[in-house]
Structure 1
Amino acid sequence: MSPALIRPQAPSTFEAEQHSPLHNPLNDPLHIARQLAERLAATAVERDSVGGHAAQEREWVRESGLLALSIPAEFGGHGASWPTVYQVIRILAQADSALAHVFGFHHLQLAGIQLYGSAQQQRRLLTETVEKRLFWGNALNPLDKRTTAARNGDRFILDGIKSFSSGSVGSDWLTISAWDLATQSPLIAVLPTTQTGIKVQADWDSFGQRQTDSGNVHFSNVVLPAELVLQAPLQTATPQSTVRSQVAQLIMANLYLGIGLGAFDAAVRYTREQSRPWFSSGVDRAADDPFIQHRYGELWLLLRPAVVLADHAAVELEKVFRKGALITARDRGELAIAVAEAKSLSHRAGLEISSQMFELTGARSTSAQYGYDRFWRNVRVHTLHDPIDYKLRDLGRYALDGTLPEPTAYS
């Protein structure tokens, strides 16, 4: 892949230090991510066809040290900037978007602890994550209210089910949401996955993103201590707490972009090395066909603006996230616009490139041995997470009258 497609738009101080001549590349998270991606790529096609839980590969992620990437240095983490975190997600997604998804959602849970949690909760949970190399999963699905919470003294009792729980299988801890029966309002909390009464059901059977461990989590008389509640029932959301959805949306944008980059790379290699020129093209190599060149130029122009906007949004997220409690509603709203721009173009690039690549590589490229169909299947499934039309509506409203998106779990 051309360096122009993967270089961060505006490297942070952290990133500049990582790439200084004196820096040891073995401690460079982007170098580590590329090595890990290469390792994942070796079995990505086979594992995609099988699905299920990638236990060994998740251990490779754990062993890489990248689970501590976004944790502040004061808690023993790497203290990486968000542009660096998203670069790592994108690099992994080019090779294996399912494991990149699990990795990205791990860091989403860590972001939630920093955005919702008290100073004491942050120190305990983030420090323990580093020391024990914990892998976090997600059971926070705000649209699924089937998990209920009933107050019992200074604790809550959880019962119900939570769907689309990415990374839950094989996780050590979960971020959860539940509907408080007494106040008819949500709460957000964390719990060890092994807590008595929690059962993770590995029943994810989508045709794409097959190894994201996104099954159902069941809660049966689960005790939730008050000290593990990050956002209590009836607690008013702040601009800071609502930034979590922007962290999540930008993870998705970089997953889509990584898939698009991976599909583009695969198509280019195939065209160079294996494609046969069309009989009437008058050229000896498919790569010399002017129509093929023209189409690759069009795909390049889908990728380039998507990369630029994704990098820009990551820089904006870094600025806003580091403001902490000083984040304003306007800060959050303008960030949401930047993220919506990035996600919309990444959505389009991922879908178009993973589909059009076959028109450029030809019938032989559809052989199961290559597994190129996984790019389209994976991006098609994940781009259905929330409707893109609402992102475009938000952008249109902003263009027409300056209205900023209303904070929700998806915008």
Structure 2
Amino acid sequence: MTTPLRCSHSRSSVKPDAGAGRADWLHIAREMADDLSTDAAEREQAGKTPLDEVSRLRESGLLALLVPAEQGGAGEDWRTAYAVVRTVAAADGPIGHLLGHHYFLSFSPRFFADPARADQIERKSAQGQWCWGGGISSHEPPLILTPKANGYLLSGYQRYATGVGIADRLMVRAAVYGTGEPLAVLVDPAHPGVESGSTGDTLGRRLAAGGAVEFDSVPIMKDDVFGSLSPDEGALSPFASLAVPTARLVSTQFCLGVAEGLLAEVHEHGRAARASRQPFSPQAWPDSPPPQDPYALTVYGELTVVARGASALADEAVDALSRGLAQGEDLDDEECAEIAVLASLAEAAASRAAREITTRALDVVGADAAATRHGFDRFWRDTRTHTLCEPTAHRLREIGDYFLNGAHPPFTLPA
């Protein structure tokens, strides 16, 4: 679990030196988390577009974390990226979600584009420190991609996409007119035919800059249309199919980060309360649970077990995915299916842990947890919004079908 996230140091935009390693980037992520945590509750309540937060991510160099060093990025792997997402999400869930979504979308050309085009896009992304938004979920009705002489025209309406209010590039899913084949498409949101709107009235994840986006005959170059997103058997290589577990483990790290962040806040609140408390006078649960209240201790112990168990599953799934990504095109269907199932297991466990922790952890605080000034409610709202968008019921069925019948999970990209 993370340690308490309160810190009063000043904001820093210093990037690691060339050749920085995993430890350096995790240090930058912790500094970013400490920075974000100082006013996370106030910013979340204000609900403004996170332009300043994205600027800080850009200045830190974290946006180019996964871009290979030869393309101008940090050259880190997904183990580091997941740890960064989890660290940031513990301090500020929506910004952690935004960053994780960016990592997945900016990495997607490696899954769906040819290697030369993927290298070219990553180089431009690193040079411009692009923040990626959008979404290629199977749940969204596809946009329409109409072929033209020099490319395509993109039209349609997407109900929700993360980061549309701040993204430098959008990755979306569109179906070719006449054939219906779904493809991944890269779009410049600065084009006048792209119109987005924020959903500031959402229950949680208010700083993820999400919202609807409409495309009105937006010109698309042929090079910005990548490979198929078809769920049909054999349409994608096993390596390209790793896009699904990669995205599910972003969801996993977000859930774990938010859950661990609330536990850290509760721990810090209790420490501060004990430090300032007058000679203790026991009161009955639940008005103000004393530090040795057996029920409060049991709740914290149970939730620690839940968090550690989900974290262990996540680590196992990340290790499996890392091995699969290293195999590249040598990966076979059975290995891909096993990785996908492990990722679904991890996501289901993390989702359950986050829901339970963000519901029960406040019992340890007692009545004071209801005070708006603490902002504890944001953890629950961020979790509930995310788990409504990413329900695990279908994942559980797929897990059962795999272990009982050997059925491979379908290619279904999460929201």
TM-score scaled by length of structure 1: 0.89
Mapped to 1, the partners of 2:265 and 2:229 lie a distance apart of: 48
Q: % of aligned pairs identical?
A: 28
Give the alignment's Cα RMSD to 1 decimal: 2.4
Pick from 133, 141, 152 the counterpart of residue 145 of structure 1: 141
1:376 matched to 2:372? The reply is no
- The alpha carbon displacement at 1:326 in A equals 2.0
- SS of the residue corresponding to residue 161 of structure 2 reads coil
Structure 2: which 5+ runs fail to align?
Answer: 4-15, 275-279
CA pair 267-156 structure 1, distance change in 2 beyond 3 A = same
Instruction: Say if 1:250 and 1:310, in contact at 8 Å, map to a contact too.
Output: yes
Cα pair distance change 1:390/1:141, threshold 3 Å: closer
Residue 277 of structure 1 contacts residue 289 of structure 1 at CA under 8 Å; is this kept in 2? no
Deviations 1:205-238 (A, max 9, x none): 2110001111111111111111111115979322
Deviation at 1:145, TM superposition (A): 2.3
Q: Which residue of 2 aligns with 1:400?
A: 404
- Cα deviation for residue 348 of structure 1 reads 0.9
Match of residue 161 from structure 2 = 165
Contact 1:337 1:395 in 2 (8 A): yes
Distance (whole Å) between structure 1 residues aligned to residue 324 and residue 48 of structure 2: 37
* Distance in structure 2 (CA, Å) of the matches to 1:382 and 1:346: 12
- 1:8 alignment counterpart: none
Structure 1: distance between partners of 2:295 and 2:289: 12
- CA distance in 2 between partners of 1:280 and 1:201 (Å): 48
Gaps of 5+ in 1: 4-17
The one-letter amino acid of 2:216's match is S
- Which position in structure 2 is the counterpart of 1:47? 43
Q: What does 1:10-409 align with in structure 2 at a 5 Å threshold?
A: 28-145=24-141, 147-231=143-227, 236-274=235-273, 278-279=282-283, 286-409=290-413
8 Å contact kept, 2:289–2:364:
no
Q: CA deviation at 1:204?
A: 4.3
Deviations 1:345-383 (A, max 9, x none): 110111111110121111112100000000100000001
Question: What secondary structure sits across from 1:164 in the alignment?
Answer: strand
The number of equivalent residue pairs is 391
Is this contact kept in 2: 1:242–1:409, CA < 8 A? no
Pair 1:196–1:119, CA change in 2 (3 A): farther
- Tell me the distance in 1 between the aligned counterparts of 2:35 and 2:22: 16
Does the CA-based 8 Å contact 2:2-2:261 persist in structure 1?
no
Q: CA deviation at 1:96?
A: 0.3
Relative to the length of structure 2, the TM-score reads 0.88
Change (3 A) 1:233 1:213: closer
Q: How far does the alpha carbon of each residue in 1:273-312 deviate from its partner, in whole angstroms, 9 at most, with x for none?
A: 327775358xx98222222222211011101111111111
The code of the aligned residue for 1:52 comes to: K
Deviations 1:160-217 (A, max 9, x none): 1112210121111111111222102212111222134112222342110001111111
